[in-house]
Amino acid sequence: METKNKLEQAVKDALKAGDELRKRTVRHTLAAIKQVEIDLQSPLDETAVLGIIQKEIKNRREALEEAQRANRQDLIASAEAEIGVLNDFLPKAMDPEELKELVEAAIAEAGAASLKDMGKVMKLVLPQVAGRAPGDQISALVQQLLSG
């Protein structure tokens, strides 16, 4: 089943179960997906949907950091719970060693020699990863490997 369909079904299940947190979190994510589809005037593919879910998780991690700085336990608990809900819709995370091998292969394929070639490498890696690793983690690894 496609991830977007899973999200839509999760909203229905959360409504039936009375799970307010799951309903709110998934609805917010579906709204983000629909907004991008409206902006692009076309439906999103699976990779783009997974990217939006990762972006939503990143937003909640940033909110979590802010809540920790402010020592707000209620916001910390809420952000952690929402991250847990969203993680349910992502594929199994990629092993760091597997990611490194994939990036090294992409560097070789692109003939990348410096940070100037980072875009070429990212263009090769991102479709292969498809939601199994956060973009910032991939970017940091590519930078590390290209800077030697």
Domains, in order of start, for the chain = 3-87 (1.10.1510.10), 96-147 (1.10.10.410)
pLDDT band at 90 (very low <50, low <70, confident <90, very high): confident
Average pLDDT score over the chain: 90
| Selection from 46-55, 60-69, 84-93 with the highest mean pLDDT | 60-69
pTM confidence score: 0.77
Section 44-66 average pLDDT: 92
What's the pLDDT score for residue 20?
96
Section 34-44 average pLDDT: 94
Instruction: Report which of residues 56 and 112 the model is more confident about.
Output: 56
Section 77-97 average pLDDT: 91
CB burial class (10 A; 0-12, 13-18, 19+) of residue 110? middle
Q: Give which of 62, 59, 64 is closest to 78, Cα–Cα.
A: 64
Section 107-131 average pLDDT: 84
What's the pLDDT score for residue 1?
56
Estimate the crossing angle of helix 46-69 against helix 20-40, to 10 degrees.
Answer: 130
What's the pLDDT score for residue 109?
87
